[in-house]
Amino acid sequence: MPIVLAIESSCDETAVAIVAGERGQRASILASEISSQIPLHQPYGGVVPELASRSHSLILRPLVETALQNAGLKMAQIDAFAATAGPGLASSLLIGNTAAKAMASAMRKPFLAINHLEGHLLSPFIDVTELPPHIALIISGGHTLLLRVDAAACYRKLGSTLDDAAGEAFDKVAKMIGLPYPGGPNVERNAIGGNPSAFSFPRGLLHEPHFDFSFSGLKTSVLYTLPKLENLDDSLADLCASFQAAVIDVLLQKSLRACKEQGIFYLALSGGVSMNQALRRTFQSACDAKGFTLSLSSPALCTDNAAMIAFAALLRHQSGQNDPLDSPIHPNLPLVS
């Protein structure tokens, strides 16, 4: 059975995973190690690239050793090595790429350069034997992407954000209201018990016929609301719940319309924002009501991880693909052009 070791280092998580599986069979995650840099960047309210790359290079080697140990494998038993090639921070991508290429070269095994977004897109399907045709919504800190997926590597873009990504909107609004980085989980926590209709925030581009998104108007609307509040603490839960509801509403309505227009009644969510419990519940009940199938990444696979990169690499390795050792990193690598 082919075994792939992958490194994810596109932003502020250093991750190593080992995934194995035969073509047409369910893949197994043999190890999935993540070393989060959140405490390192928290004092700055966002990711500092120089600190991120330095931390990746320090943590990567022990993390590879831990992954091999937890999988009960020796390096010589790995059949292919992979790394995220983009999109992401150049200085961070380089660390994981160089390490994976060095291992591939030393062990005389193939190397695979993986698109981070493809990793997210495939993450809800790690435990199925075949990728179903579906509408994919990738919602992360850097991207908001709606796609039609007909098969592996057969993707058509339906829409994307014209300004902020959904996760970026969560992070920026969190910063505005004094919640720590990363904003998404903190906004969600503070929204609990809040009234999602307390503030009527705008739903950007909701009634446009296309599938693009815009969250900058929503962000500005929250900014203009803040000085009007008598006491932010008293309104915090309502504010967070109303902001969250506006983001979820647009994502849901556009995704459901995409399913209907494309005639594919199967929706899959991935990326860090798909961790959000309110979003998961809202999508689940809407899909149940319409008789649509919904696939969600398991929580451990929503935010950045290497198992999704190893799985994407495994599928490509199973079909005989690999990449040259001099293949470049691409900080702006698109999933579909």
Chain residues in the site for Zn ion (CB under 5 A): 140, 304
- AA identity, residue 130: E
Which segments within 121-280 are labelled E, that is strand? Answer: 134-139, 144-151, 154-160, 266-270
Which lies closer to Zn ion via its Cβ, residue 59 or residue 256? 59
Angle at 70 between CA 68 and CA 73, to 5 degrees: 40
Query: How many angstroms separate the CA atoms of 80 and 230, rounded?
Result: 59
CB of 219 to ligand KG4, least distance (A): 13
Q: Is 70 helix (H, G, I), strand (E, B) or coil?
A: helix
* Burial category of 299 from C-beta neighbours within 10 Å (exposed 0-12, middle 13-18, buried 19 and up): exposed
Map the footprint of ligand KG4 across residues 286-305, applying CB under 6 A.
303-304
Consecutive H or E run containing 267: strand 266-270
One residue of 21, 119, 183, 204 binding ligand KG4 per CB under 6 A: 183
- Which residues are registered as beta bridge partners of 17? 6, 32
The Cα–Cα gap between 312 and 47 comes to 26
Instruction: Tell me which of Zn ion, ligand KG4, none is bound by residue 312, counting a contact when its beta carbon lies within the kind-specific cut-off of 5 to 8 angstroms.
Output: none
> Considering only 50-58, 107-115, 251-259, 267-275, which stretch makes contact with ligand KG4 by CB under 6 A?
267-275
**Helix (H) or strand (E) run with residue 290 in it:** helix 277-290
> Torsion over CA of 323, 326, 332 and 333, rounded to 10 degrees?
-10
Q: Containing H/E element for 269?
A: strand 266-270
Subset of residues 147 to 176 that bind ligand KG4, contact rule: CB under 6 A: 167-168, 170-171
> Binding segment for ligand KG4 among 56-64, 255-263, 271-279, 328-336 (CB under 6 A)?
271-279
8 binds ligand KG4 (CB under 6 A): no
Binding status of residue 115 toward ligand KG4 by CB under 6 A = no
Residue 271 touching ligand KG4 (CB under 6 A):
yes
Nearer to ligand KG4, 140 or 242 (CB): 140
**Of the residues 145, 179, 275, 312, which one makes contact with ligand KG4 according to CB under 6 A:** 275
Give the one entry of Zn ion, ligand KG4, none that residue 167 binds, where binding means its C-beta sits below a cut-off of 5 to 8 angstroms depending on kind: ligand KG4
Q: Does 194 bind ligand KG4 (CB under 6 A)?
A: no
Q: Which stretch binds ligand KG4 (CB under 6 A): 47-55, 125-133, 268-276, 327-335?
A: 268-276
Of Zn ion, ligand KG4, none, which one sits near residue 273, judging by CB under 5 to 8 A according to partner kind?
ligand KG4
Residue type, 191: A
Per the CB < 8 A criterion, the answer to whether 130 and 24 are in contact is yes
Nearer to Zn ion, 142 or 204 (CB): 142
Contact assessment for residue 202 and residue 245, using Cβ atoms and an 8 Å cutoff = no
**Residue 204 is a binding residue for ligand KG4 (CB under 6 A):** no
Question: Does 33 engage in binding with ligand KG4 (CB under 6 A)?
Answer: no
**Residue 129 is encoded by which pair of tokens?**
């034997």
CA neighbor of 317 nearest in space, from 134, 131, 82 = 82
Report the nearest approach of ligand KG4 to the CB of residue 139 (Å): 8
CB atoms within 10 A of CB 133: 13
The correct pick among 188, 235, 238, 259 for binding ligand KG4 (CB under 6 A) is 188
Residue of 96, 124, 204, 272 that binds ligand KG4 (CB under 6 A): 272
Q: Which of 3, 94, 273, 309 binds ligand KG4 (CB under 6 A)?
A: 273
Which of 86, 76, 81 shows the shortest CA–CA distance to 19?
Answer: 81
The footprint of ligand KG4 (CB under 6 A) covers 11, 140-142, 167-168, 170-171, 182-185, 188, 271-273, 275-276, 303-304
